[in-house]
Structure 1
Amino acid sequence: MHPLTPLLRGGLFLLVVAGIIIANLRERLVEWLLPAFAPEFSEGELPPDPIDYLVSRNLILIALLAVLGTVVVLLLVFSLSWRFHTFRITDDDVEVRSGVLFRTHRRAPLDRVQGVNLTRPLVARLLGVGKLEVVGAGTDSNVKLEYLSTSNAETIRADILRLASGRRLGGSAAARSAGTRVRQAASAVGAGLTGLVDGDDQGDVEPESVVHIPAGRLIASRLLSGTTLVLIALIAAIVVGSIVGSVWVLFSFVPAVLGFGAYYVRSVTRALRYSIAPMPSGTRITFGLFTTVSETLPPGRVHAVEVRQSIFWRPFGWWSITVNRLSGRSASDTNADQFTTVLPVGTRADVERVLKLLLPALPDEDWPFVFDQGILGPRADDPYATTPARARLLRPLSWRRNGYLLTPDALFLRRGFIWRALGVFPLARMQSVGIAQGPIDRMLGVANLTAHVVAGSVTTTVGILERDDALRGFQDAADGIVAASAGDRSHRWASSEPDQTPAGEPLLEPVSAPADLAAPPADTVAPPAEPVDAPDRTPR
């Protein structure tokens, strides 16, 4: 790891807290810690200032030696922590070991990698370092490499994604770990000192984004939201309460108003410097003004995509895109939501470009079902199965829009009138499909259809469908999931491509790849020897 890792992981915070305590309580600290050197403290006679006391008693040398001893102890603790914090990358796992007294060992299987994120807080960016997070497939399963120099983090991220894709590291990797551990440590220290002096931020060199969001549009989109309505209602309640009640009511709502203000600032700063671009290993998404996060989504890791538009955005033609994906974070992690929004606000052209990055396997003949018939629908000859007229009371505004469409590749769920939404669910990523019917639904002859995918912000249910349409969609979706899953190879998306060793000096030690990385398993079903007919792409 980077030699500044212990300081950035907690030492800097401890130093700041210690400085605040010493600055505010230094008289009491001298009274508690130096009674032997200052007997008059026990009598309640404190000097005007401990610094003046040290100068007047010629104790400057002792004080400097005490400070030096404290610094030496801290450096020793930091060096031990850095020495025992190691990682390695094999053909199968990313492993991290840390701890001196209490050892921790974590692994992330490469064939379950859902993404690799590079996070650079403000202080870390000034020092030219960042933390790499390998996103796992379970709850609280992420493996963090914190901290690495930015150049090393970019190279290691490329190596992890290359091994996860099914490729092997090239033969030039033989020079990756030349020398002893002492020489490697000296090289890391040298790189760390160089980054400390230069403040190198090489992570800002990102591929060209396919979407550019003006700051004015971003701020306006946050103001034109449901949160603003809640804030206006809160302000109205404050004004009415202060008129009919006591003026002190104003002070009870101040924390809530400050909370709304913090939400607006945080949501805008997180979305600034947004970019999304195609990469050989997937899709690169970068966002954040102060703390910059750069995440790479490998192919096949997006389980659901939803395009949304509120009625406030409709005059401007703005939409947002959210996804369901495995984040590897615990349910209590408040930062998990920031990885679900892949387009904060964009025009139709922006939405189409982002969808083509997130759904590269969607065939060209399915794209009219996304915008023309989906988001902007219904149109003439609507292919979606919708709510019948007899049940319009359950969907008074959106009964013509509310519906689903199934193709051999994806399930489309269209809903909403005031808040329009279209969910796209690749069949290869769906776990199952469900159908439900309550007592009122049975009276009206309607049912609800649900796509079962990983949990997230995307709505996975469309309700009040014609019963026969829902049953047909249930059966056809179940068959389509089996067929799509059988032909899915996205977990090793580059196993059949030739090896390409990245440019630049490699960092990792060469390892021998097992046979299953270069060839499919023995029990894999072989493709038929004779040509077969193309699948029927008629939407159902």
Structure 2
Amino acid sequence: MTEPNPLPQGSTSERDLADWQHLHPLSPILRGGVVGVAIIGYAATQFIDDIFRSLTGGSKDPGDEAADQSLREGLGFLFDHSLATAAVIVTGLTIVGLFGWLAWRFAKFRVADGQIEFRKGWLFREHRQVPLERVQAIEISRPLLAQITGLSQVIVQSAGGGDSQLKLAFLSSGRADEVRRELLALAGRRDEAGPRTAAGAPAGADGIPTEGSSPHPLSLDEGHEVFRVPNGRLFVATILHGGTIFLGLVMLLAAAVALAAYGSRFEALTGVALALPALGPIALGIAVNRVGELLKHGNFRLAETGTSVRIQHGLTDKRTNTVPLHRIQAVGMVQPLWWRPLGWWRVKVNVAGVAHDPTGTNDTETTVLPVGNLQQALDVLTLLDPVLSAEDLRRAALGEGTEGGWTLVSPRARRFDPLSWRRAGFAATPHSVMVRTGRLSRKVSVMPHARVQSLTMAQGPLERRLDLAGVTLVSTPGPVSVSIAHLDLETATTLLREESARAGAARKFARSGCTSADVPSQLVTPDPHDER
């Protein structure tokens, strides 16, 4: 395994990080760039609107007459006194520059005494400290304005809640990469920086397809690229969404109603055009959601470093996320109904230490494949956990019935799920538990026995009458839910007891230094009298 050496005591890089350092001088401009553009745009529109109203003599409220008169007098003074205008502009720029200089002057960071420290603010001061032992990941982000100026921000993620990120915004791109590597070494996270394969090994040496990728390896820090999602495919997948399909059906229905009411195609089109403003807010909301999805997952690349995967994505805000393999708690793939004709799947994971966003607007660290065919999804899953069997995963994705050791839900479950009760079920392997659900929209969830946090069994009032129960394998928060509903009560009880024994045995094997592949097959059907 090729790993970067830890920084020796007293090295130049360590001494640099131990001293207080400033961010890039352009940082205040970039941080306030979007806000400044918005303010300038709003002021410009109001200014132009006031000028046109003053010149055209449009209808005004009586209370606006004094304001218009003051505007005309102020404009006349500025136009007649160029020196005064220049003085106003210079004064404004000086004030903005002074505030920016103060913001840059008091923003510093360093790494000392086993923690990362960041200070900012000259009027209201803030001092944040993140212990290196609590660092979960260190990422690089390049928003659009930063890309234009060649800057990047370093995002230090620590264990904690939603406000657990420390951002060093901004540094030059080269310096940001250096700081990230140095922080990884100091934090003892070398497993997230070094590739498994030797330098110069071609991408895809482990059999994973490299569609659209270069055969040349990336830098040692980024690993070797193994997969890339074409933006064209991502665009089609983004459009094939329930919201866009619903909007299209509504517009077709409106056209049909208008045609039936008016009887003429021209009049029908006129009626549809008149009805469009009513659909405007809905269409705008769907468009914003779909565009955001495309911008978030565009330019998607997946690279492997041996002990982690590196995800690069984003059209306007380019981000690089690292997902260490040892922190992956559960994996899953889903195929929406509208993707089935094309055979596309999406792969997501639960990662320890990564907060889950139920809305899905900030799921960049849990999506390891935004869209791909079944074989690509299987390749990604076996890359994340080589112990998983591609054949078992394929059977979980496409299979039905009990073939391959699957246990299905009770036939009485047809009352709750008439479409997929013949397919829904679970299967236990020496390594993990697999759950499949759905017939129109397919879903597969996999959790290793050693990652099971706890188990729950639940019954609703109707399920109690039918002797049914649901079992959930509790993981860390994330988009993958490993639960199976409407099992026979006896089957659910057996699953709860046996999986508890399997999870305990798997954790013992993990603590003893054995790998997942060393778990004996007898754990699939453990002795019911075995006590943990």
TM-score (norm 1): 0.72
2:462 aligns with 440
Which string of whole-angstrom CA distances, capped at 9 and with x for unpartnered residues, describes residues 228-270 of structure 1?
3312233245436757697754321122223323333332333
The partner residue of 1:303 within 329, 333, 346 is 329
Measure, in 2, the Cα distance between the counterparts of 1:206 and 1:129: 18
Q: Which amino acid aligns with 1:287?
A: H
Q: Which amino acid aligns with 2:317?
A: T
Measure, in 2, the Cα distance between the counterparts of 1:81 and 1:63: 27
The partner residue of 1:46 within 43, 63, 73 is 73
For the Cα contact (< 8 Å) 2:28–2:100, is it kept in 1? yes
Q: Secondary structure at the match of 1:89?
A: strand
For the Cα contact (< 8 Å) 2:328–2:351, is it kept in 1? yes
Q: Which amino acid aligns with 2:300?
A: Y
Which string of whole-angstrom CA distances, capped at 9 and with x for unpartnered residues, describes residues 62-108 of structure 1?
54444434433333322221222222235743332222222223333
The structural deviation recorded for 1:9 is: 1.1
Measure, in 2, the Cα distance between the counterparts of 1:142 and 1:48: 47
Which string of whole-angstrom CA distances, capped at 9 and with x for unpartnered residues, describes residues 291-347 of structure 1?
211111123222322111134333432211122336756969874234432211112
Report which structure shows greater RCO (CA 8 Å, sep ≥6).
1
| Structure 1 position 357 matched with structure 2 position 386 | no
Pairing of 1:201-220 with structure 2 (within 5 A): 207-220=223-236
The structural deviation recorded for 1:465 is: 1.6
2:448 aligns with 426
For the Cα contact (< 8 Å) 2:330–2:447, is it kept in 1? yes
Q: Give the count of matched residue pairs.
A: 446
1:82 aligns with 104
| Structure 1 position 320 matched with structure 2 position 339 | no
**Root-mean-square deviation (CA), in Å?**
3.7
Say if 1:129 and 1:119 are closer, same or farther in 2 by CA, change over 3 A.
same
The structural deviation recorded for 1:349 is: 2.7
The partner residue of 1:104 within 110, 121, 126 is 126
Q: Secondary structure at the match of 1:46?
A: helix
The structural deviation recorded for 1:482 is: 3.6
2:28 aligns with 6
Q: Which amino acid aligns with 1:212?
A: R
Q: Which moved more, 1:432-441 or 1:378-387?
A: 378-387
1:347 aligns with 373
The structural deviation recorded for 1:127 is: 0.8
2:289 aligns with 263
Which string of whole-angstrom CA distances, capped at 9 and with x for unpartnered residues, describes residues 388-446 of structure 1?
33443433332232112233432211111111111012334332111112233233332
Measure, in 2, the Cα distance between the counterparts of 1:151 and 1:358: 29
Q: Which amino acid aligns with 2:234?
A: L
Measure, in 1, the Cα distance between the counterparts of 2:448 and 2:182: 28
The structural deviation recorded for 1:160 is: 3.1
Pairing of 1:397-436 with structure 2 (within 5 A): 397-436=419-458
For the Cα contact (< 8 Å) 2:222–2:305, is it kept in 1? no
Measure, in 1, the Cα distance between the counterparts of 2:415 and 2:278: 41
Measure, in 2, the Cα distance between the counterparts of 1:354 and 1:382: 22
The partner residue of 2:237 within 199, 212, 221 is 221
The structural deviation recorded for 1:8 is: 1.1
Say if 1:95 and 1:255 are closer, same or farther in 2 by CA, change over 3 A.
same
Pairing of 1:450-465 with structure 2 (within 5 A): 450-465=472-487
Q: Structure 2 regions of 5+ residues with no counterpart?
A: 1-22, 52-67, 192-217, 263-270, 526-532
1:183 aligns with none
Q: Which moved more, 1:277-286 or 1:82-91?
A: 82-91
Say if 1:46 and 1:440 are closer, same or farther in 2 by CA, change over 3 A.
closer
Say if 1:330 and 1:475 are closer, same or farther in 2 by CA, change over 3 A.
closer
For the Cα contact (< 8 Å) 1:117–1:295, is it kept in 2? yes
Q: Secondary structure at the match of 1:313?
A: helix
Measure, in 2, the Cα distance between the counterparts of 1:206 and 1:166: 14
Q: Which amino acid aligns with 2:239?
A: L
Say if 1:252 and 1:87 are closer, same or farther in 2 by CA, change over 3 A.
same
Q: Which amino acid aligns with 2:148?
A: L
For the Cα contact (< 8 Å) 1:242–1:249, is it kept in 2? no
1:493 aligns with none
For the Cα contact (< 8 Å) 1:130–1:147, is it kept in 2? yes
Which string of whole-angstrom CA distances, capped at 9 and with x for unpartnered residues, describes residues 163-187 of structure 1?
444569xxxxxxxxxxxxxxxxxxx
Q: Secondary structure at the match of 2:423?
A: coil
Say if 1:42 and 1:236 are closer, same or farther in 2 by CA, change over 3 A.
closer
Measure, in 2, the Cα distance between the counterparts of 1:408 and 1:218: 36
Q: Which amino acid aligns with 1:235?
A: M
Q: Which amino acid aligns with 1:255?
A: P
Measure, in 1, the Cα distance between the counterparts of 2:190 and 2:327: 18
Pairing of 1:366-381 with structure 2 (within 5 A): 366-371=389-394, 373-378=395-400, 381=403
Measure, in 1, the Cα distance between the counterparts of 2:484 and 2:88: 69
Q: Which amino acid aligns with 1:239?
A: A
Measure, in 2, the Cα distance between the counterparts of 1:43 and 1:369: 77
Say if 1:220 and 1:85 are closer, same or farther in 2 by CA, change over 3 A.
same
For the Cα contact (< 8 Å) 1:218–1:345, is it kept in 2? yes
Q: Which amino acid aligns with 1:119?
A: S
2:16 aligns with none
Q: Secondary structure at the match of 1:209?
A: strand
Measure, in 1, the Cα distance between the counterparts of 2:49 and 2:470: 71
Measure, in 1, the Cα distance between the counterparts of 2:434 and 2:154: 35
Say if 1:476 and 1:96 are closer, same or farther in 2 by CA, change over 3 A.
farther
For the Cα contact (< 8 Å) 1:242–1:250, is it kept in 2? no
Q: Which amino acid aligns with 1:436?
A: A
For the Cα contact (< 8 Å) 2:356–2:478, is it kept in 1? no
| Structure 1 position 474 matched with structure 2 position 496 | yes
2:166 aligns with 143
Measure, in 1, the Cα distance between the counterparts of 2:406 and 2:358: 38
TM-score (norm 2): 0.73
Q: Secondary structure at the match of 2:491?
A: helix
Q: Which amino acid aligns with 2:225?
A: S
Pairing of 1:189-204 with structure 2 (within 5 A): none
Q: Secondary structure at the match of 1:87?
A: strand
For the Cα contact (< 8 Å) 1:88–1:94, is it kept in 2? yes
Say if 1:224 and 1:477 are closer, same or farther in 2 by CA, change over 3 A.
same
Say if 1:536 and 1:43 are closer, same or farther in 2 by CA, change over 3 A.
closer
| Structure 1 position 535 matched with structure 2 position 507 | no
For the Cα contact (< 8 Å) 2:332–2:348, is it kept in 1? yes
For the Cα contact (< 8 Å) 2:307–2:326, is it kept in 1? no
Q: Structure 1 regions of 5+ residues with no counterpart?
A: 30-40, 169-201, 490-525
Measure, in 1, the Cα distance between the counterparts of 2:188 and 2:297: 29
Q: Which moved more, 1:243-252 or 1:374-383?
A: 243-252
